[in-house]
């Protein structure tokens, strides 16, 4: 039997209480989600950048709507066994929007939701020009979010993007305030050093999330060291999206250049494995039982 949303949330809460670093690869549609799901990761991370790019073909700049993200989250949460962490941007508006967002994503089966303190329209935290609302306004959003949830195991992640605009000290102050407001986890986008991560973890006294976007800086540290510094979850939002884009682009270039696929440099996922991944075996079993087909 598939795990219920409550069971997946409880599993994530239990994993967070352990002394190991949890790994959450980024997923952006159902092929990436199913592939990650069969690897038994601790959680999946629905990346806003990847969703906007794959679903709408637009930048992660506040263009994807609440309805766009909610529907993709619902499909992935219900189509996988791994707890799903969803990037819900700024909560898609004001306080009433935040309340609706929490109720919607909890009902969709997500295990955790991430809210950030950017102005609307937001933009990807790895790009220039991010601007933040006041810390007081973000605290109010968090208070509304915590009041709206009905399952205490539905975790609330408070993210601040203040580092790029105001520096580390301002970002740390916000993280502390968001932790005091009741956020279950804190996420300071843009941390650069081990000392910064350790300071956030110590002063917030909350599990921390680190965004690993490259193999240098914090991304070069062994998992045990990240955990020692106070990181509870390492997310890899762009890994699948960038790997897929590179493979597809390479395959298309070969097809364009050679007008055939005889000399592909890119390895192809086996067709039979894709059939299994998509669940064709259950279709065939149904047809054997009810239609008498071999």
Catalytic residue positions? Answer: 124
How far apart CA 223 and CA 221 sit, in angstroms, is 6
Q: Dig out the tokens for 270 from the structure.
A: 């086996």
How many residues in total does the chain contain?
A: 294
How far apart CA 6 and CA 275 sit, in angstroms, is 29
Q: Residue 114: how many CB atoms within 10 A of its CB?
A: 23
Going through 83-152 in order, the beta strands assigned E by DSSP cover 84-87, 112-116
How far apart CA 72 and CA 67 sit, in angstroms, is 9
How far apart CA 86 and CA 77 sit, in angstroms, is 9
Q: Are 171 and 117 in contact (CB under 8 A)?
A: no
Let me know if 71 is exposed, middle or buried by CB neighbors in 10 A (0-12, 13-18, 19+): middle
Helix (H), strand (E) at residue 251: helix 239-258
Let me know if 140 is exposed, middle or buried by CB neighbors in 10 A (0-12, 13-18, 19+): middle
């Amino acid at each position: 039997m598939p795990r219920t949303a409550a069971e997946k949330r409880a599993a994530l809460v239990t994993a967070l209480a352990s002394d190991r670093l949890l790994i959450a690869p980024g997923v952006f549609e159902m092929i990436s989600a199913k592939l990650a799901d069969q690897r038994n990761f601790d959680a999946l991370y629905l990346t806003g950048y990847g969703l906007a790019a794959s679903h709408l073909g637009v930048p992660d700049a506040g263009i994807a709507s609440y309805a766009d993200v909610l529907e993709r989250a619902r499909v992935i949460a219900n189509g996988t066994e791994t707890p799903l962490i969803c990037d819900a941007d700024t909560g898609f508006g004001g306080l009433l929007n935040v309340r609706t967002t929490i109720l919607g994503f909890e009902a969709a089966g997500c295990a955790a939701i991430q809210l950030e303190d950017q102005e609307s329209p937001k933009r990807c935290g790895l790009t220039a020009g991010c601007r933040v609302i006041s810390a007081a306004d973000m605290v109010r959003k968090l208070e509304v979010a915590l009041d709206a949830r009905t399952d205490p195991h539905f975790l609330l992640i408070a993210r601040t993007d203040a580092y790029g605009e105001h520096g580390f000290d301002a970002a740390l102050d916000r993280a502390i305030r968001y932790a005091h407001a009741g956020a279950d986890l804190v996420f300071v986008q843009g941390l650069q050093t081990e000392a910064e991560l350790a300071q956030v973890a110590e002063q917030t006294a909350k599990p921390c999330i680190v965004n690993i976007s490259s193999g240098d800086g914090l991304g070069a540290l062994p998992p045990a060291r990240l955990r020692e510094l106070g990181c509870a979850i390492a997310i890899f939002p762009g890994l699948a999206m960038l790997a897929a884009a590179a493979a597809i682009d390479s395959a298309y270039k070969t097809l364009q250049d050679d007008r055939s696929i005889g000399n592909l440099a890119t390895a192809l996922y086996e067709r039979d494995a894709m059939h299994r991944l998509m669940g064709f075996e259950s279709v065939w079993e149904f047809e054997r039982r009810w239609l008498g087909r071999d």
